[in-house]
Amino acid sequence: MQDPRATTSATAAPPWQQFICHVCGLIYDEKEGDADSGLAAGTRFADIPEDWACPICGVGKADFEPWSPAQAEAARAAAVRQRPATPGRLAGGSAGVPGVRGTGGQTARAGARQTAGVVVIGAGRAGWQVVQALREHCPTQPVTLVSACAGDVYDKPLISVALARGLQPAAMVRESAANAAARLGVRLLVHTHAVGVDVARQRVRTTRGTLRYSHLVLAQGAEPAVPAVLPPQWVWRINDLAAYTRLRAALRTQGSAQTAAAGSGSGLASGPGPETRSSPGSSSPQIAIIGAGLVGCELANDLALAGHAVTLIDTQQRPLAAQLPPLASQRLLQAWQGLPLHFMGGVQIASLQPVALGPAADAALGAPSTTSGNVAAGGSTAAAASGLRLTLTDGTERVFDHVIAATGLRASSRLARSAGLVFDDAAGGIVVQGCTGATSQPQVYALGDCVVVDGLASRYIEPIVQQARGIALAIAQNTAPSHAQDSAQVSTQGSTQDSTQGTGKHLAQTPPAARAPTLRIKTSSLPFTLSGTLAGSGQWRTLEDQPQALQMQRCGPQGDVLATLRAQRQTPRAGAY
Amino acid sequence: MALAELRDPPPAIRFTATVDAATVETAAVDAAGDTAASVVDAVRHIAQGALAPQADAIDRGRYPRELMQALGAAGAFKAHLGPGAAAGDYALAIRVMSEVSRVCGATGFMVWCQQVCGLYLQQSGNPALTQRVLATHASGARLGGTGMSNPMKAYAGIEPLLLKATPVPGGYRVSGTLPWVSNLGPDHYAGVLAGVEGPRGDITREVMFLLRCDAPGVELRNCPSFSAMEGTNTWAVKCCDAFVGEESLIGDPARPTIARIRAGFILLQTGFGLGVTQGAIDSMWRVEHALGHVNCFLDDRPDELQAELDDLHSHINTLARTPFDSSTDYFISVLDARAHASELALRAAQSALLHAGARGYLMSSDVQRRVRESHFVAIVSPAIKHLRKEIARLSAPVMPA
C-alpha cells in the first residue's frame, strides 16, 4: 500500500516532529510553534534561531532531543513493569490457607498512615524464614517484607559449589520474590533500603517511604568485613547471589578477553617478579582469594575445579585454621593437589594497587564515581584488565586479574544505632535473646547473620529456623495473648526439613539446647562435616585416616565426645560454567 | 508598606515598617562578642518584627534586600563559618534559617543561598575569594546564591551538566544556561560548576567557580512565575563565552571541593524545612482556641508534629557537629534527615490548612502560602525522590564490576 505522503511532489512534506527539553520536559511541537517566542506554527526545529531559549527553563536548542508519544508510552510501560507485584492484605479469617491472595496487581507503596503490621527487614534466608513462621503462627497479621535486593529465594550455600555442579547463577533462584510473597500473603517492597528506625513512633524510614510497624524484625544479614588495605572498588566480596552473578559475568568476560589477547600474541602487561601471570596462550584469569576460612576455601575449591588459577592467601599457616585440627587442614591441601590452587599461608597484605590506571579513571560527572558510586568508573574496569598488584609485607608481589576478599562478616550497625539497640561491636551483631530473638527494644526482634547471642554470632542456616519460630511465637503471644495461634500446617514449597514444624504449641518456654550447629564445609575436593563444639580444651584424635576418608574426634577429660569430624574425598566433577 | 531603601549598609541599620510602625534597630554585631543565643534573638527579632508583615509581598515578588542585609548584620550568614577553613556552628546556622523560614519561606531560603555560597567561598582555598570576597559576603554587604542544583542532579545521573567550560589562558570560557538560580541581581554572584570539555568534546573534569552576574557574557533572564516565593530574585543565568579568571575559581578540579561541602550544603538546607514546619505548627495553635473542638478529629495534630519536629531537630543538631565527616554512613544520615524535614514540612503545612479551614485559604493568609512553600521545600534540589535515589545508590556496595 503506497504511503499517501510519498511521491506526490506538490504535497510531500515530512511529518511534524516533536522535541523534548532535557531539563524541564517541555515538548516543542513543530506543528504548534512557540507563539510567545515569535515562532509561527509550522516552524521546524532546525529553523529555530540559535539564540532561542526554552520558554520554561531557558536552556538552548542543544538541550533538546527528538521525542515521540510512543517513547512516553514505552517509558510508562517500563515503569509499571518495574514495580514489584504485591498482593493486597490477607483477608481476615483465612487462617493459614496457602496461596490466599489479596486483590492482585496492587503496587507496593509505603505510606505512614497504613499500618504495615510486622515489618521484616531483609529477604534473605532469615527474612523469608521468619515470614513463613509468622504465617504459621499469626496467619491474619499483616506482614511487610522490605528487601534492598531483588528478594528472590535462593540457597546461599550453593554459591560455594555452583561451578562444580554446573549451575548458572540465574538457575539458583528457587522462587521469585513476587511468587513467594503471593504464596505467603505478604506485602513486598524490593529494591528498598531501610534507612532508620524511630522506635518511639514505631516507624521505619525507607527509600520508598515510611512504614508504621506493630513489630519490627531485623533480618538484614551480615556484610563482608574487609581490611582497610583492600579498597572496595578493586575487591570482590561474595555474600549474595547478586555479587556472585556479577563475579561470574566478569570471569566470563575476562576469560574471553584474555583468550583474544593471548590468541593475538599481544600478551599482557605484567610487573616484575616471579610467577606474576599465566603465560600467553592461557585463557584462565588469575584469581586471588584473601582469607582461607569457610567461604574462602569453598570458593577457592570451586573456582579451581572449574579450571581457574587460584591463589588462596591467609595470615594463618594453614587453611580453615579456626575450624579444623592441623591434620584435617593437611588432608585438604593434599586433596587440592592437582588443582590450579596454590595456598600461601602465614603472610600479610601490604597493599593492593591497579597495575595501570586507564585515562578514564577520573570519570566525568554524570557517571558513577569510584568513591561513592555503585560500580567503579569506566576507566577502572579497563585497569582491571591490566591487573591488580598485590604486595605482601615481605615484599612479594603478585599480579592478579581478580581479587576476592573472604575476610569475615559483620552486621551493619546503622539500623541498630538508630533504634538504640544494644549492638556487640566485637562480634559484629545485634544482641538478642536466644529463644525469642528479642532485642533490647520492645517490639523489635532480630535473627540470622545479623545477631549475636551470648557474645557469639552463629552465621549458619541451621539456627535460623529455630530463631524464626521463636520470634513468630513471641509476636503471636504479644499480639493476641489469649488466642495464640496453634501452628497450622502450612504447605511450604521447597522449604528445608524442619522436624519441629507443626509443634508450636509450646510457646518457646524452653530455649533450644545450646549446641553448635552441624557444620558442613563444602570444599568439594574434600568436604567436611563437623558436629559439636570445635574450640576449647581436649585433644583431637584420629579414628580413621585413609586416602578417601578422615574421621576424628575430640574428647573431654571424662572421655565424653565433644566434637566429631568426618571428611570424605569426592571425585571432583568437572563443571562447565 | 515601603521600607527605607538601603544602599551601602552603615554599621547601624535603621528602618521602619510603616504598616505596623515597628522600628527595628540592629547594631553591627561584633563577632567576638556574639553568643549563639544573641544571634538567634537578633534574627528572631527581625523575622517576627520587620519581616513578618513583608512575607506576603515577598511571596509575590518583592526582593527583601534590606532585610537580607539586616540579617547579615545580625550574623545570620556566618555562624557556620569557622576560622580559616574550619567548621563554625552549623546548628546555629540551621537554627537561624529555621527562625526566618518560620515566618517567610522565601527569605529563609535566601538565607540558605547566602550561607551556602559563603561555604563555597570559605572552602575554595583561593585567597582572591577568601580574603577579598568572603568577609563582605558573610556580613551580607554583598549578596549571592548557588547554582549547584544542576551539577547535583548530574552527579546522580538525573540530568546532564548544563554549563561547559573551555580552558583559555588565565581561566576558562563558559557557555550554557542554568534555568533557575535564586538570590541573584546585577551586583550579585553565584557558585556554579561547569564541565570542562576535552579535545573530543567529552567532559574530562569539572570546575567550580564564582560567576559574577555583571561579567561580560553573563545574562540574567526572566523565569516564568512560580507557585510561591517569587521574591527570591530567581533568574535563568545564560553564559555566552563568559570569561572566568583564576581569581574566581572555587575548585579546580571540582570533585574534591564537592566531596567536602556536600554534607554541609544539605545539612544547612534542613533549616528551611524545619522552619516551615514550625510556622505551620504555630498557625495550628493560633486556631486551637476557636477550632480545637473540631480540629481534634484531624490527623497530624500540632502536638504530635511538634514532638516529631523536636526529635528531628535534635538529630540534625547532632549531625551538625561534624559537617565535614566524609563517611558514606554519615552522608546517608544527612540525606535522610533532609528528606525527613521535607516530608514533615509537607504534612505540617497541609495539616495547618486543614486546621485553619477557610481563613487559611485566603490569599492573604500565611497558611496557604506555607503550603506552597512546603512544596518548594520538597522539590528544591535535592528533592525527596533525588534524596531517596542517592541513599539507595550509596547503600549499595561498591564492586569491581
Residue B22 scores a pLDDT above 70: no
Residue in A with minimal Cα distance to B388:
A207
How far is the alpha carbon of B49 from chain A, nearest alpha carbon, in Å? 36
Whether residue B382 has pLDDT greater than 50: yes
Separation of first and last alpha carbons in chain B: 62
CB neighbours (10 Å) of residue A467? 29
CA B313 to chain centre: 17
Q: How confident is residue A284, by pLDDT bands cut at 50, 70 and 90?
A: confident
* Contacts within 8 Å (CB) and 24+ apart, A383-386: A383/A354, A383/A355, A383/A356, A383/A357, A383/A358, A384/A234, A384/A354, A384/B400, A384/B401, A385/A254, A385/A257, A386/A268, A386/A269, A386/A354, A386/A355, A386/A356
**CB A374 to CB B399 under 8 A?**
yes
Task: Determine the pLDDT at residue B228.
Answer: 85
Indicate whether A513 pLDDT > 90. Answer: no
Q: pLDDT class for A556, splitting at 50, 70, 90?
A: confident
Burial B72-110 (b: 16+ CB within 10 A, else e): bbbbbbbbbbeeeeebbbbbbbbbbbbbbbbbbbbbbbb
pLDDT (0 to 100) of residue A478: 85
Are A549 and A567 contacting, i.e. CB atoms less than 8 angstroms apart?
A: yes
Q: How far is B208 from chain A (nearest CA, A)?
A: 12
Q: Give, in degrees to the nearest 5, the angle at Cα B72 between B67 and B77.
A: 125
Per the document, the length of chain B is: 401
Among the listed residues B338, B349, B351, B350, the one whose alpha carbon sits nearest the alpha carbon of residue B379? B338
A95: confidence class by pLDDT, cuts 50, 70, 90 = very low
Per-residue confidence (pLDDT) for residue A37, from 0 to 100: 75
Among candidates B195, B221, B398 on the partner chain, residue whose Cβ is nearest the Cβ of A365: B195
Write down the pLDDT at residue B121. Answer: 97
- Work out how many CB contacts closer than 8 A connect A with B: 138
The distance between the two most distant Cα atoms of chain A, rounded to a whole number of Å, is: 108
A326 CB-side CA count, 13 A: 3
Q: Which three cell numbers stand for residue A311?
A: 591463589
Q: Tell me what pLDDT residue A571 has.
A: 61
B253 cis-preceded (ω within 30 degrees of 0): yes
Q: How far does B396 lie from chain A, in Å, by closest CA? A: 6
Region A154-158: mean pLDDT is: 91
Structure confidence at residue A82 as a pLDDT band (50, 70, 90): low
Nearest to A453 by CA among A463, A443, A444: A463
pLDDT of residue A27: 83
User: To which residue does cell 521447597 refer?
Assistant: A494
pLDDT on residue A435: 86
Phi, psi at residue A98, to the nearest 5°? -70, 150
Do B400 and A374 make contact, defined as CB atoms within 8 angstroms?
Answer: no
Cross-strand partners of A213 = A117
**Is the four-CA dihedral A242, A247, A250, A256 of positive or negative sign?**
negative
Q: What's the pLDDT at A267?
A: 38
Burial (CB count <10 Å: 0-12, 13-18, 19+), residue A36:
exposed
The number of helices, as runs of H, and strands, as runs of E, in chain B is: 15, 10
CA distance B197 to B283: 51
B9 has pLDDT over 60: no
Query: What is the tens place of the pLDDT at every residue in A360-419?
Result: 444 444 443 333 333 333 334 444 457 999 999 999 999 999 999 999 999 999 999 999
Which residues on chain A are in Cβ contact (under 8 Å) with B311?
198, 200
Average pLDDT over residues A469-477: 94
Bigger pLDDT: A504 vs B103:
B103
Pairwise CB contact (< 8 Å): B179 & A24: yes
At A137 the pLDDT is 92
Is the per-residue pLDDT at B194 higher than 70?
Answer: yes
> Residue A81: pLDDT above 90?
no
Cβ-contact A433, A458 below 8 angstroms: no
Helix axes B105-123, B366-379, angle to 10 degrees: 30
Q: What is the model's pLDDT at position B250?
A: 97
Give the integer Cα–Cα distance in Å for B98 and B293.
30
Q: In DSSP terms, which residues pair with A451 in a beta bridge? A: A430
Q: In terms of CA atoms, which chain A residue is nearest residue B236?
A: A58
Cis before residue A442, ω within 30 degrees of 0? no
pLDDT at residue number A11: 60
Beginning with the edge strand found earlier in the chain, give each strand of the sheet holding A64-67 in spatial order.
A27-29, A18-21, A64-67
Distances (CA, A) of A124 to A147, A219, A364, A534: 8, 7, 36, 27
Question: pLDDT band at A3, cuts 50/70/90?
Answer: low
Contacts B401 to A, Cβ<8 Å: 246, 249-250, 253, 375-376, 381, 384
pLDDT score at A148? 97
Beta carbons of A366 and B157 less than 8 Å apart: yes
Q: Identify the band that residue A218 occupies on the pLDDT scale cut at 50, 70 and 90.
A: very high
Q: What mean pLDDT do residues B182-209 have?
A: 93
Q: What was the pLDDT predicted at A257?
A: 54
Task: Please give the Cα distance from B106 to B65 (Å, whole number).
Answer: 12
Cα distance between residue A486 and residue A552, in whole Å: 43
Mean predicted confidence (pLDDT) in B330-343: 98
The per-residue pLDDT for A63 is 83
Choose from B164, B221, B399 for mutation: most chain A CBs within 10 A: B399
The pLDDT tens digits for A414-435 are 999 999 999 999 999 999 998 8
Predicted confidence at residue A38, as pLDDT, reads: 79
Vertex A275 angle, CA A289 and A385, to 5°: 60
- pTM given for the model: 0.81
Q: Which residues pair with A236 in a beta bridge?
A: A404
Predicted confidence (pLDDT) per residue in A248-266, tens digit: 999 988 655 544 444 444 4
By the 8 A CB rule, do A319 and A342 touch? Answer: no
Amino acid letter, B124: S
Say whether pLDDT at A298 is over 70: yes
pLDDT average, residue stretch A183-210: 96
| Interchain CB distance below 8 Å, B206 and A210 | no
Range in A556-565, B266-275, B302-311, B366-375 the model is least confident about: A556-565
Please check whether residue A409 is in contact with residue A224, taking contact to mean a CB–CB distance below 8 angstroms.
yes
Inter-helix orientation angle A462-479/A125-137, to 10°: 40
pLDDT of residue B309: 98
pLDDT for residue A515 is more than 90:
no
Q: How many CB atoms lie within 10 A of CB B54?
A: 22
